[in-house]
Structure 1
Amino acid sequence: MKLQILIQTLLILLFAAVSTAFAVDTTKVYNSGILVLAFLGFCALVIVVQIIPAIVLMVGSIRSMIKTMSQKELARGKAKN
């Protein structure tokens, strides 16, 4: 049993060491230009601007749920008394 675990461990370590040989070559220089960066920045800006109203809506709905739940609890408390 220990021999099997040892063999499995050695195979995992071997495959982990070999996987770095197929990594991407990072010696190339970024060469796209300012227009590509401006376009990507504009896309990121559109996404952020769309997220802001979604967050505001979510916070408002959570507040209304909490308010409704607390009103129900108050009504239950008055009914018991």
Structure 2
Amino acid sequence: MTTMRTLLTTLATVFVSAAPAFAAGARTDHSGLVVWMFLGFCALIVAAQLIPAVLMLLGLVKGVATPQEKSAVQQR
């Protein structure tokens, strides 16, 4: 009987604490065309900066992965 009481108390506590989450209404988005154009422009800037960064990273990996040539200069 005590386990049933503990289970019901726990469930009641969880449901009472979760009630505000269920009370939130549906949010509507009233963003206009200008907002979406601004967000698209920001995405374009991010994409334009990612392309050179990826190319530089590939060049760095290629430089590290290729074997080093031994120098022809003799040390004294």
How many matched pairs? 64
| Matches of 1:42 and 1:13, distance apart in 2 | 49
Q: Aligned residue for 2:59?
A: 60
Instruction: Give the CA RMSD over aligned residues.
Output: 3.3
% same residue: 25
Question: More helix by proportion, 1 or 2?
Answer: 1
- Shift of residue 44, structure 1, vs aligned partner: 0.8
Once the two structures are TM-superposed, the CA of residue 19 in structure 1 deviates from its matched residue by 2.6
- Answering whether residue 25 of structure 2 is matched by residue 25 of structure 1, we say yes
Determine which structure has more spread, i.e. the larger CA radius of gyration: 2
User: Structure 1 stretches (4+) deviating beyond 4 angstroms?
Assistant: none
With normalisation by structure 2, the TM-score equals 0.60
TM-score (norm: length of structure 1):
0.57
Q: What's the CA shift for 1:31? A: 1.1
Q: Which residue is equivalent to 1:37?
A: 36
